A and B are shown apart, each in its own frame.
Chain A
Amino acid sequence: MTSFFLLIFVKKKAMINAVRNTILAILNKNNYGYISPSDFNLFAKQAQLDIFDEYFIAYNNQINKENGRVSGTGYADIKKGYEEVIDTFSVTSSLSQSAGNQYIVPTPATTGSDYYLLNKLLIYSSITSSGVTTAIGGGNTNLIDNTATFQTDGVSAGDVVSVVLSNPVVANLTVVSVTNQTTLVVNFASLTTTSVPYTIYKKVNLKNEAEQVTHSKITMLTKSMLTAPNITFPAYTQEGGILTLHPDSISAIGRVVCQYIRYPKDPKWTYVSLTGGEPIFSQSQSDYQDFELPPDDVNNLVARILQYAGMSIREIATVQFGQSIEQQENQEQ
């Protein structure tokens, strides 16, 4: 059960403002001090990351409780709640190819966000067709390749066309219809230039999951007749920001699709102007970003931000107050 006054003014659409107001109310009440919007944003980011990280630990603890048969089902299924929160940060995206069988881990430049955890890598088991576009047409919805044999290859409506329109982002288009052996119509008017490499896949072939293996294992694994990675049971290793897929034949645009858990976006409390020395909250600013954690984490956020703010203004009572709220939250869990 959440405690006292904190949730009264909380709305999901502007949770950050409610949290900030609460923080300021607590700080001002005892004349502890004031934190600026930029400081608040820094503390808010840190607090959100702390809580986000703890979700995974809490999830694991909950599984241990289930294994110990001290957890319930239905509304008592705490694990399900954790899964739901974690899944709100789930992203599925095609990985950009670096070279050959090497693909780039999710980054803001390639998939739009950094990854916290690579949950699974799926590989298309086969390529239906591939090539390079030779012309444009149909209001940029035609994929034209004079050397292609789309009908012979079995390309059909609904197939996925992976292309790199803006390096290094992989875009996935959908085949709307197959005009003839050399021309396809796709669902998005994006093919504005020629010489665009493309690869076409059947959706049903996105079924083979690559297993992450350590560098200490991969050599032995590939040497073994029984366990050598193949298209049916592929594997990958990670080195820096590069994922190396095994077998080497996994080397086509869009062939590797990653489902990962991204980091929460940095919260940003934005304002428009100062009125009486006070910034007025505005969530219509382009860089506005609310917390991405669920509303029931408001108490945790307040507690953690208070601790950071207390440290900042060298007020130990504020830190202790934040810690006491956090302990209370933990006990309730």
Chain B
Amino acid sequence: MAYLSQYQYYENAGTAPTDKNWGSYQYVGLEDIVNNFQLMYSGNHSLVNNEERFKILFHAKRGIQELNYDAFMEIKALELTVYDNLTFVLPSDYVNWIRISLYKDGWLRPLNENIQVNSAQSYLQGAGGTLTFNADGTVITNTSTLDTERKNGQQNSIYLNQNNAVDQVEDDNASDFYSDYSIGARYGLNTETANVNPTFRIDKKAGVINFDSTMLNENCILEYISDGMEGGDDSQVSVNKLFEDYVYAYIEYAILNSKFNVQEYIINRARKRKTALLRNAKIRLSNIHPGRLLMNLRGQNKWIK
């Protein structure tokens, strides 16, 4: 990709959307990665030779996916309101979650993952517990009691929120009922469940986040990571430039490692190069610089009274 003029960068040369190129200089596109690799690391005199482009593309994408999982720190956030079904459908590019929060009254309140199951599949049962089947032999399913009662607000919670069985205070708005009772007085508070916020549990197979009924009509913010594949639009897949060399090294290593008759020392060299470049890139991306450290270290001489 060619360098952009400042007019193209700031205003996309006058075409909408004008913010399209903002920040784009941080990244190098997948197209460039594959092209540069073929140009510089593949050929008659290179370690990698006579490899189909789709193999290079595959390894490039795999490398970028791995970086997205644990190195890029590029967290996406999606806000949705939770309605009657108490579910939040996972985004189309969701791979894993970082944090799920309730946004209410100007505060972002991180939610706890419920350690108890809160949704289940149910089979339709006849008298005596017999199951019923469709003509094709599949069992007929039904909405589970667990789901029904959770959605109706009848499911008790072990967390110290409004669904807790001990919470009987009618005008309890702030869910601070536990201070009115002797919860935890004898054996101490179970800190794992000591949270007033709604709880959730992710049903990965169903692709939804199931909340308890206290989340009804509330704004939920999901912070998550993707794999960087941009919904299959290869022209939009990109890598932070700090990781550019690592991606080349990753592709080279991946190809050499799976190729017959490549000497082990060459594979090892490629592996070490890849690992070292990843380490370097992570350090660079972590932005450890004196100004930031200084702010933290200023607290070390604080007098604890």
Contacts and interface: CB of A to CB of B under 8 A. Distances in A.
Contacts of B54: 211, 213, 217, 221, 227, 233, 235
A226 B57 contact: yes
B45 A232 contact: no
Contacts of A233: 31, 34, 53-54, 57, 234
Contacts of B52: 211, 213, 217
A326 B31 CA distance: 47
Contacts of A232: 30-31, 233-235
Nearest to A62: B44
Interface in B272-288: none
B58 A226 contact: yes
Interface size bracket, B side: 10 to 19
A1 interface: no
Interface string B51-68: 011100110011000000
Nearest to A225: B232
A275 interface: no
Contacts of A235: 54
Nearest to A63: B44
Given A213-B52, A233-B234, A66 B45 contact: yes
Interface string A214-253: 0001000100111110111101000000000000000000
Given A63-B44, A66-B44, A230 B232 contact: yes
Interface string A44-79: 000000000000000000010011000000000000
Contacts of B234: 230, 232-233
Interface residues of A, number: 18
Contacts of A228: 232
B252 to A, nearest CB: 18
B62 A211 contact: no
Contacts of B233: 230, 232
Contacts of B229: 225-226
Nearest to B30: A232
Contacts of B235: 125, 231-232
Interface in A15-69: 63, 66-67
B45 A227 contact: no
Contacts of A125: 235
B294 to A, nearest CB: 44
A228 B62 CA distance: 14
Contacts of A227: 54, 57-58
Contacts of B44: 63, 66-67
Contacts of B57: 226-227, 233
B61 A226 contact: yes
Interface of B: 30-31, 34, 44-45, 52-54, 57-58, 61-62, 229, 232-235
Interface of A: 63, 66-67, 125, 211, 213, 217, 221, 224-228, 230-233, 235
Given A213-B52, A233-B31, 19 more contacts: A63-B44, A66-B45, A67-B44, A67-B45, A125-B235, A211-B53, A217-B52, A217-B54, A225-B229, A225-B232, A226-B229, A227-B57, A228-B232, A230-B233, A231-B235, A232-B31, A232-B235, A233-B57, A235-B54
A-B complex: 9 closest residue pairs judged by Cβ atoms: A232-B234, A211-B53, A227-B54, A226-B61, A232-B235, A63-B44, A227-B58, A226-B58, A230-B234
25 contacts: A63-B44, A67-B45, A125-B235, A211-B52, A211-B53, A211-B54, A213-B54, A217-B52, A217-B54, A221-B54, A225-B232, A226-B58, A226-B61, A226-B62, A227-B57, A228-B232, A230-B232, A230-B234, A232-B31, A232-B233, A232-B234, A232-B235, A233-B34, A233-B54, A235-B54
